[in-house]
Chain A
Amino acid sequence: LAKTTQPISMDSYEGQEVNITCSHNNIATNDYITWYQQFPSQGPRFIIQGYKTKVTNEVASLFIPADRKSSTLSLPRVSLSDTAVYYCLVGDGDTDKLIFGTGTRLQVFP
């Protein structure tokens, strides 16, 4: 089972743009890439989902290169309340199972 990897942690300051990358070099051909936000002792909350190129919604953008072996979640202007763990979720190309990434702990400072 190919591992879906993310940086363990990132630090940022309020108002800055944060980009979190997920590496998934064995992604299933037909599956979307989904990103979630998780606060301590809560279930994951949906942020954004995409298949290729770029997707933007009111809270984030998602960049996916043509080979789809990675994806980047972009949070335009983070605030203190964006301090959380961020996970990507992708389908594994061999098993077709959905696999969560290792998670990135984002700490936003004032």
Chain B
Amino acid sequence: GAVVSQHPSRVICKSGTSVKIECRSLDFQATTMFWYRQFPKKSLMLMATSNEGSKATYEQGVEKDKFLINHASLTLSTLTVTSAHPEDSSFYICSATESVKAYEQYFGPGTRLTVT
């Protein structure tokens, strides 16, 4: 099946610094990638949708200047958390789809971000 990787799997950073998380589709070309955020014991919340070569579409309440998304190629999307604060600590999960049917999503393993 389709494989999606994320890097790093876990990161700890100091408040005020920026952190970049990579999401890669390893064996398929992803027309669309999604970024989710998940708090402990809560469901996944969609942050943004990105298509290769175009600007990401952010969900209501998600600051686009704080969560920078770049979808530079059909196999790579990055999420940069700028000027991170402790409240940004969360589990970030990406997913990718190779078809126009967005429900056929393949999820990455997630990245746990801890901001101290």
Contact = CB atoms under 8 A, between A and B. Distances in A.
B93 interface: yes
B103 A44 contact: no
Interface string B46-67: 1000000000000000000000
The residue among B4, B42, B93, B107 with the most chain A CB atoms within 10 A of its own CB is B107
Q: Which residue, A46, A91, A101, A102, has most C-beta atoms of chain B within 10 A? A: A46
A78 B90 CA distance: 30
A45 interface: yes
A98 B102 contact: yes
Given A41-B91, A41-B112, A34 B44 contact: no
B44 A87 contact: yes
Given A101-B43, A103-B43, A43 B103 contact: no
**Tier of interface size on chain B:** 20 to 34
Contacts of B91: 41
Interface residues of A, number: 22
Contact of B110 (A41, A100, A101): A41
Interface in A71-110: 87, 89, 91, 97-103, 105
User: Across chains A and B, which 4 residue pairs bring their CB atoms closest together, nearest first?
Assistant: A43-B107, A100-B43, A100-B44, A44-B107
15 contacts: A32-B103, A34-B103, A42-B110, A43-B108, A43-B109, A43-B110, A44-B93, A46-B106, A89-B105, A97-B46, A98-B46, A98-B102, A98-B103, A100-B43, A103-B42
